[in-house]
Amino acid sequence: MTVCRRMFCILATAMLAMSGCVGAIYHHGGPRAPAAAIPPRELWKVSGTLRDLPKIRDGNINTVTRSAAGEENPSLTIDLGKLSMFNMVVVDQGPTDEFGFPRRLSVETSVDGQNFAYRYAAPGTRRVTILCLPTPVLARYVRLKVVVPGVHPWAVAEVYLQ
């Protein structure tokens, strides 16, 4: 088989797999244990230094909560109500303020609401900031904290966990 033909076979198999035409490579024969599911956002309890905090879970990206101008390290803490597993936090700043993002935002988690562990920090971005944690985390409390403030006060329309 020529090199060109081998490459074609490899690429064709990969493209079929990506399009969903090929079944899963690994099938676990035993019973499945579901991961700790994230509760619906309507059940989250939210606290922190921002105003109108319930807006971050109302499902409307046009309702925005903001930090006070010049506030040092604004933060918000989400109580999920139970231990949940996730590895990504998405902060939607909303469409009304394109500069309402921090220069750097951190994620801290806790199982008891008292002892928080630093998990990850990344630059904030316009409109949507996506924080992909290096490993999945099991936690009940999630704290988002501005490490380096942006030009405008921090704006948060919605927060999503996955």
Q: What is the mean pLDDT of each run of 10 residues along the chain (162 residues)?
A: 67 55 41 70 94 89 91 94 94 88 96 96 93 95 96 93 92
Of residues 102, 147, 91, 142, the one with CA closest to residue 119 = 142
The count of domains in the chain is 1
Q: Which residue has the tokens 């909560």?
A: 65
What pLDDT is attached to residue 118? Answer: 97
Burial of 157 (0-12, 13-18, 19+ CB in 10 A): buried
Tell me whether residue 157 is in a domain: yes
Tell me whether residue 112 is in a domain: yes
What pLDDT is attached to residue 70? Answer: 86
In three state form, how does the secondary structure of 27-50 look? CCCCCCCCCCCCCCHHHCEEEECC
Tell me whether residue 3 is in a domain: no
What pLDDT is attached to residue 115? Answer: 97
Tell me whether residue 14 is in a domain: no
- 3-class state of residue 141 by DSSP: strand
What pLDDT is attached to residue 26? Answer: 38
Of residues 44, 49, 22, the one with CA closest to residue 142 = 44
Is there a contact between 36 and 82 (Cβ–Cβ < 8 Å)?
yes
How many Å separate Cα 106 from the centre of its chain?
A: 11
- Which domain, by its residues, includes 156? 36-161
Q: Say how many C-beta atoms besides its own lie within 10 A of residue 128's C-beta.
A: 16
What pLDDT is attached to residue 15? Answer: 58
- Structural element, H or E, at residue 92: strand 75-92
Tell me whether residue 96 is in a domain: yes
- Structural element, H or E, at residue 130: strand 128-148
- Structural element, H or E, at residue 3: helix 3-19
What pLDDT is attached to residue 76? Answer: 95
Tell me whether residue 19 is in a domain: no
What pLDDT is attached to residue 112? Answer: 96
Write the CATH number for 129.
2.60.120.260
Tell me whether residue 115 is in a domain: yes
What pLDDT is attached to residue 30? Answer: 46
Tell me whether residue 133 is in a domain: yes
Interatomic CA distance for residues 78 and 107, integer angstroms: 11
Q: At 137, phi and psi to the nearest 5?
A: -125, 140
pTM, entire model? 0.77
What pLDDT is attached to residue 27? Answer: 39
